[in-house]
């Protein structure tokens, strides 16, 4: 499993400095990412390693999109490693929590993973997901 919580502070640091510092910056972040082309104008961001990097030379839309794309790549890398070590194969994913409210995050994750991503707004979604995995469904 992978949680955005582990990189959320680093993402927020970059978003606040280069995309928006408004109280509703998540909406600005989504809107900016939606304006950028896939590939973020060539900008690549690893949110776990690049929190202190200077992105002032880049448009906010490309910073936003590159952050989302970089986070999606981290997820794919973790899922690929899990599949390799366990023999599990993934054909779908589910999102829950803050980023699941963003259509652009979901689209980027689907494009990166290469399969459908559903969104769950139910209470205790993480626990329900763990139960599904344990049950084999």
What would the pLDDT profile of 57-88 be if each residue is shown by its tens digit? 999 999 999 999 999 999 899 889 989 998 88
Mean pLDDT of the chain: 88
DSSP assigned state of 42: G
Query: Looking at residue 131, what is its pLDDT?
Result: 73
**Per-residue pLDDT tens digits for 26-53:** 999 999 999 999 999 999 999 989 999 9
Q: What is the pTM of this model?
A: 0.86
**H helix intervals, the chain:** 5-18, 25-35, 60-86, 103-113, 125-135
Give all domains of the chain, ordered by start, each with its CATH number: 5-135 (3.30.420.40)
């Amino acid at each position: 499993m992978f949680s955005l919580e582990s990189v959320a502070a680093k993402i927020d640091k970059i978003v606040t400095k280069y995309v928006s510092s408004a109280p509703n910056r998540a909406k600005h972040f989504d809107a900016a990412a939606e304006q950028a082309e896939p590939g973020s104008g060539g900008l690549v961001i690893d949110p776990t390693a690049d929190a202190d990097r200077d992105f002032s030379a880049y448009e906010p839309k490309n910073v936003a999109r590159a952050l989302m794309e970089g986070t999606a790549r981290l997820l794919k890398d973790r899922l690929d490693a899990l599949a390799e070590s366990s023999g599990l194969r993934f054909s779908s994913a589910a999102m829950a929590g803050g980023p699941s409210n963003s259509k652009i995050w979901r689209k980027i994750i689907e494009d990166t993973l290469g399969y459908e991503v559903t969104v769950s707004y139910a209470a205790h979604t993480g626990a329900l997901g763990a139960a599904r995995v344990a049950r084999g469904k």
